[in-house]
């Protein structure tokens, strides 16, 4: 639920970074390829002006990992899974929560999948802050 939201948020922020050219993509470690975004994610994203209606899930591949300059994990489970599958990715793997706000600095960004619509909205607000701060750091 988190990854596609981040992709769309980062692509929106990247549009304002005139001097930088990069591609953003999302994929899940345990995604079922072709599945649409969860209805809670679609509803929460809409509140941020983003449509996830046409999003379809993808699995992370070796090619994606090899081509990436940076990979952002949401939680330690993601981090461990990525490093166990692709140990060489360690030097380009970062925790997205490092870009959260000063007032609220979570170590991990929890998956709201089993927590309901209100928690999905809260999660997406945290993701939005992280992505805005990440984009601002790239613009410096």
Could you report the per-residue pLDDT of 71-126, keeping only the tens digit for each?
999 999 999 999 999 999 999 999 999 998 767 667 889 888 888 888 899 899 99
Predicted local distance difference test score (pLDDT) of residue 107: 83
What percentage of the chain exceeds 90 in pLDDT?
A: 68
* In the predicted structure, residue 137 carries a pLDDT above the cut 80: yes
Compute CA distances 30 → 34, 81, 82, 112, 129, whole Å. Answer: 12, 10, 11, 15, 25
* In the predicted structure, residue 20 carries a pLDDT above the cut 80: no
Say if CB 124 and CB 5 are below 8 A apart: yes
The predicted model gives 13-25 an average pLDDT of 83
Quick one: 76 exposed, middle or buried, by C-beta within 10 A (0-12, 13-18, 19+)?
exposed
* In the predicted structure, residue 7 carries a pLDDT above the cut 80: yes
The class that CATH gives domain 2-139 is alpha beta
Predicted local distance difference test score (pLDDT) of residue 22: 82
Burial track 83-102 (b if 16+ CB lie within 10 A, e otherwise): eeebeebeeebebbbebbee
């Amino acid at each position: 639920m988190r990854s596609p939201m981040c992709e769309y948020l980062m692509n929106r922020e990247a549009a304002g970074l005139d001097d930088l050219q990069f591609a953003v993509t999302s994929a899940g470690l345990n995604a079922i390829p072709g599945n649409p975004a969860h209805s809670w994610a679609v509803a929460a994203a809409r509140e941020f002006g983003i449509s996830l209606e046409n999003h379809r899930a993808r699995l992370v591949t070796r090619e994606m990992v090899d081509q990436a300059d940076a990979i952002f994990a949401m939680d330690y489970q993601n981090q461990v899974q990525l490093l166990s599958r692709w140990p060489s990715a360690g030097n380009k793997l970062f925790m997205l929560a490092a870009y959260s706000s000063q007032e609220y600095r979570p170590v991990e960004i929890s998956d709201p999948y089993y927590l309901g619509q209100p928690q999905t909205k809260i999660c997406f607000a945290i993701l939005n802050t992280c992505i805005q701060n990440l984009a601002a750091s790239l613009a410096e």
